[in-house]
Structure 1
Amino acid sequence: LVYDLFTSADFCYSNFYFLNLIVWFLGLIWIFWSINLYFFSGSRANSFFSFLLNWHYDNVGSYFLNKIKGSYILISGAFLIILGSNIWGLFPYIFGITTQMVLTFSISLVIWLCIVISSLEYSIVGFLSHLTPQGAPEYLASTLNMIEVISNIIRPLTLALRLSINITTGHVFVSLMGTSGAICLFSLKIFWLFFMFLMAGYLLFEVGICFIQGFVFSLLSVQYLGEHV
């Protein structure tokens, strides 16, 4: 049976599948921790997560997050779940769940719907006024209005595609380098040690990419939140 490079993104059940569920439980713990710091009071986990979430809150735009009460719990929970899932998917024999559009689209759709429903509930007129650019000529108003509606609707799709494609690309490169490393081990033993250092460096790079992708996802979500009426 011949496998291609995208086999790593295919779903398969194994004895290690239950490890993927740990990410979801960790995500729930992180959300509860965001609500009440009592659970990790005085521990090293409190210091680490306080630093991470404070840095995240300061960089994604604290002004926009104050527009909707409780919105930061939703954004930070999505950020931590995506970050944990991205890093978890780099481990051997563990399915990279963020490579699947089912997950990424579900998260982005929930965030987008929360923003849209909250805006409509607050002011329907104010929400619709954002669909027409200020100062647009009358003969272009209908066309620009349609373009804005389409661009607004496809936002959850673009968020999901950006995350899934970038993570899938990273997994493909990891699989390619792993295959090349196995070939070097049996044929080019002199260069095997050098290749292992190269592989370790690339894995550290992928960990950084996992963090960046989670941050970009939450940053774009907050930018959409900035258009809340």
Structure 2
Amino acid sequence: MGHQFTRAHLLLVLIIASAVASRAHKLKSATFLSPELVLAPGSVTNTFHYNVDFPTGHIGIKSFHVEPVDSSGRPIPLYDTYLHHWALNRYVIPKGGSDSANFVRNDGICQGNILGQHYGSGSETRRTATFLPDPYAIEIGNPEEGFEERWMLGIHAIDTRGVVDGQGCRECFCELYNVTIGGGYDGGLKCCEDGDQCRVKLGFQGRKRSVYLRYTVKWVDWVDGEFLPVKVFIADVTDTGERDMTETTGCQV
């Protein structure tokens, strides 16, 4: 009787283990490159790239890892090209219609689409883990009927080769850039926009070079009831608490 019970118990364990294994979901991965960014010493790029390569279908994102690289695929050191920030935004367009982007923001509380990205980071990108353990994932690829989902990648980078003040350029001090901002605005994004130039040491010679953002996405096929959808919230320390859907109130970034 004891042996029969042991065998039955073992059989039950094997059946359960087999059932669990059959429900395991394969983790998929793909690596892509952003469009080319051309930078000269002291120059700034702050560009937005629509319809970038991205996994398709109803899936759950497990992680998103970013690495700035050169045209040979070698990682670029931050002391040469400072990755100020990048942001990955989700949007939809009507099928068979215009390419007008309707952004699908995250669940954060900022006004409009400010800080509405699903992923984003800055110079700390290389050492920031983003992997979501089971059963969690960010559910995407299930837009409303009649719409197609796409992704926009924003990249803000500063080439600091040969500049007179590396830290000042990275922190966008206005006095170091070829811009004039009044009203007591001493530094910030307004002084290091796309095409702006940080001051370079007299006589410094440096070639233009191509830079890319290499991004690796890991995901699983979505199965209702087997994954818990993660909601993304981004807060802003400058948030005034006011809301009128303009950039002058609420989150100031």
| TM-score category, normalised to shorter length | under 0.3
Q: Which has the higher helix share?
A: 1
Q: Which has the higher strand share?
A: 2
Which structure is larger by alpha-carbon Rg, 1 or 2?
Answer: 2
TM-score (norm 1): 0.26
TM-score (norm 2): 0.24
